[in-house]
Amino acid sequence: MTFAIQLQLKRAEGALVRVLGLVGRRGYEVIRVEARPSGDERVMDVVMTVQSDRPADVLVRHMAKLFDVVEIQEMREMSK
Amino acid sequence: MNNAKLLVQALEQEGVDVIFGYPGGAIMPFYDALVGSRLRHILVRHEQAAVLGADGYARATGRVGVCVATSGPGATNLVTGIANAFLDSVPLVAITGQVASPLMGTDAFQEVDTFGITMPVVKHSFLVKRAAVLPWMVREAFRLARSGRPGPVLIDLPKDVQNAAACGGYEPAPIEQPPAPEPQAVARAAELLRASRRPVVYAGGGIGMGCAVDEFRAFVAATRIPVVSTLKGLGALPGDHELYLGMLGMHGFRAANRAIQECDVLVCVGARFDDRATGKLSEFAPRARVIHMDVDAAEVGKLRRPDVAVVGGLRPALRTLSIPLEIDSWRRTCRAFTAEHAWNYDAPGAGVYAPRFLKRLSEAADGETIITCDVGQHQMWVAQHCRFRRPEHHLSSGGLGTMGYGVPAAIGAQLGRPQARVISVTGDGSIMMNLQELATLVRYDLPIKIVLLDNRALGMVRQWQELFFEHRYSEVDLSDNPDFVRVAEAFGIPAFRLEDRREETQAIERLTRDRGPVLAHVLIDPQANVWPLVPPGHSNEVMMEGAHR
């Protein structure tokens, strides 16, 4: 299954690496990732496409726990 | 005042009384600031013992454990212990020195990327690049370590930042209560419980870590649901409680595993469907609807999809769910399981039968005794045969399975609870992993009792090679062990050897009465195995049994 996750991330030391590392460690594969500055210089907007047999909601809950994740805004299934 | 001094003051203001560490080049400003501080620093002989000591301190007291190391090898020696705390959800703050900021990224002497190396095994980590953010980072580190699902937090502190002038003062972190679960979820859980005929509680480490033991016991008293426990859940219910069926899982008791397999509602309280507990996951509690209660939302559905998820603090949920249930017939069935599978402690022979010896030791010890374990066969025998009155009385490396945990954890526990009797049960493999800490035990005059069960082998691996690798023994022989009595005595610890079961009473007397430290070197049958055993990949219904030895 492939799905998209959109999140806001603090621009803190290692924040993006921490998110990407979590995705891989939990058994998901990053297919595409885009990170760009947001209007607020303290945060960045990240959109990623992720693939796995494992459920999307579990990964989202893991991500939501990260200290640097300000908000997980969206998750949509793209294909089976 | 420099930042190193500010950090020491911050630790004092957080109520830290003991820290475990080892100095070195990049952490020297911090050690300089320690001089004259009211913090008690425990100088270990290897950094791994600093972090495992802080872990034992945290588990025994419920407070945040603190350890300190220098950059490079000091920091990498902490990694196993940080991972240990991560997998067992132990509140910990690890402080590491780092090379000065201008040198970072240049392969400087004793430079490693501590922040990067530890990232997968911390709840969070901070690299302090500017003096101004240090107070905020320390406060957040303590808040994060103990809030929600506890865990380890790393602060990596370059030497120049330690030396820089401090900016501002320090405000201790607030103590946060986890959010209460949604009332609708608790109501659905209550409905499921009321409709159940064969419920079982699957009690995990979250009960103790979440300070919910009283509420949990009130819940069990009200519902009178039979209880099985994970390794970390031992002591949530007293080991002699009439509704307690024992530990579940790979080396669990048959009564516990049978009850799980036959239950219609499984109430998972602060546990995480770990593979050692569930066996083959698809066949675990096959007829059960599941209520999963956990402070960590990410555990919900990670391995088993619950019918009702109760996410948030355990205490309010348990209070609401303390309702009477009509399950007399099921309770009788579970009692029959317990009676049918009662352990037979009558092993033949004249030697020491480890399960019986540990049971007798546990019965002779007072209700406040703390037992720490290493990892292997002895660890499972402790879990099976010792009875615990509180979760904080049983300190065992559950998730990571860290050999070498027992003695450093005992040191931490004894420093945190000076009045408690602390016994460290270890094996001849495990003790050698942190043997040097016997010197720490002596240096700080800690009256820890060490029970070293010696089968002249890496027993658990040997058992698996016997059962699953057709007796092809590969690198498990330890028949060339040193004379452990003389080793202990060389460190200044009184020691004795126990081989004959007729001398058990005298040995237990020493272990429960002596005021100072002592090491009991207990020789056991090298062929002894841990039973029962669910073979890897099988359902918990498939439990192998073997001969008592």
Q: B547: pLDDT confidence band, cut at 50, 70 and 90? A: confident
**Taking 70 as the threshold, does the pLDDT of residue A27 lie above it?**
yes
Q: What percent of chain B has pLDDT over 90?
A: 97
- 3-state SS assignment for residue B90: coil
- Superfamily, domain B3-163: Thiamin diphosphate (ThDP)-binding fold, Pyr/PP domains (3.40.50.970)
| CATH 3.30.70.260 corresponds to the domain A2-79 | yes
Q: Kindly list the residues from chain A whose CB atom is less than 8 angstroms away from the CB atom of residue B126.
A: 13
Note the pLDDT of residue B546: 86
Which of A61, A68, A69, A72 should be substituted to probe chain B, the one whose Cβ sees the most B Cβ atoms within 10 Å?
A61
Cα B548 from Cα B355, distance rounded (Å): 10
* Chain A contacts in chain B segment 287-326 (CB below 8 A): 296-298, 300-302
Cβ contact A17–B140 (<8 Å): no
- What residue type is assigned to position B162 of the chain? Q
Query: How confident is the model over B468-521, as pLDDT tens digits?
Result: 999 999 999 999 999 999 999 999 999 999 999 999 999 999 999 999 999 999
Evaluated on CA atoms B380, B303, B534, B339, the torsion sign reads positive
Once rounded to an integer, what is the mean pLDDT over residues A17-45? 95
Query: How confident is the model over B265-303, as pLDDT tens digits?
Result: 999 999 999 999 999 999 999 999 999 999 999 999 999
Regarding the domain delimited by B183-340, which CATH topology (the fold level of the hierarchy) does it fall under? Answer: Rossmann fold (3.40.50)
Note the pLDDT of residue B84: 98
Cβ contact B119–A64 (<8 Å): no
- The position carrying tokens 């994740």 is A69
**Taking 70 as the threshold, does the pLDDT of residue B441 lie above it?**
yes
**Number of other CB atoms surrounding residue B336 within 10 Å:** 12
What are the residue ranges spanned by the domains of chain A? 2-79
Note the pLDDT of residue B367: 87
Note the pLDDT of residue B548: 67
Note the pLDDT of residue A79: 67
Note the pLDDT of residue A73: 75
Query: How confident is the model over B211-221, as pLDDT tens digits?
Result: 999 999 999 99
Note the pLDDT of residue A80: 59
| Cβ–Cβ under 8 Å, residues B53 and B94 | no
What are the residue ranges spanned by the domains of chain B? 3-163, 183-340, 354-523
**Taking 70 as the threshold, does the pLDDT of residue B549 lie above it?**
no
Query: How confident is the model over B229-262, as pLDDT tens digits?
Result: 999 999 999 999 999 999 999 999 999 999 999 9
Which of A67, A68, A69 should be substituted to probe chain B, the one whose Cβ sees the most B Cβ atoms within 10 Å?
A67
Backbone angles phi, psi at B30, to 5 degrees: -65, -45
| Cβ–Cβ under 8 Å, residues B421 and B370 | yes
Domain B354-523 carries which CATH code? Answer: 3.40.50.970
Containing H/E element for B276? Answer: helix B275-278
Q: Kindly list the residues from chain B whose CB atom is less than 8 angstroms away from the CB atom of residue A66.
A: 124
CB neighbour list of residue B104: distance below 8 Å, 6 or more residues apart? B98, B111, B158
Q: Please tell me the distance in Å from B63's CA to the nearest CA on chain A.
A: 21
Cα B541 from Cα B261, distance rounded (Å): 7
Query: How confident is the model over B334-392, as pLDDT tens digits?
Result: 999 999 999 999 988 999 999 999 999 999 999 899 999 999 999 999 999 999 999 99
**Taking 70 as the threshold, does the pLDDT of residue A38 lie above it?**
yes
**Taking 80 as the threshold, does the pLDDT of residue B150 lie above it?**
yes
Cβ contact B127–A14 (<8 Å): yes
Q: What is the mean pLDDT of chain B?
A: 97
Specify the DSSP class assigned to residue B351: B
Query: How confident is the model over B295-334, as pLDDT tens digits?
Result: 999 999 999 999 999 999 999 999 999 999 999 999 999 9
Note the pLDDT of residue B444: 98
Cβ contact A65–B297 (<8 Å): yes
Copy the structure tokens of residue B457: 């082998």
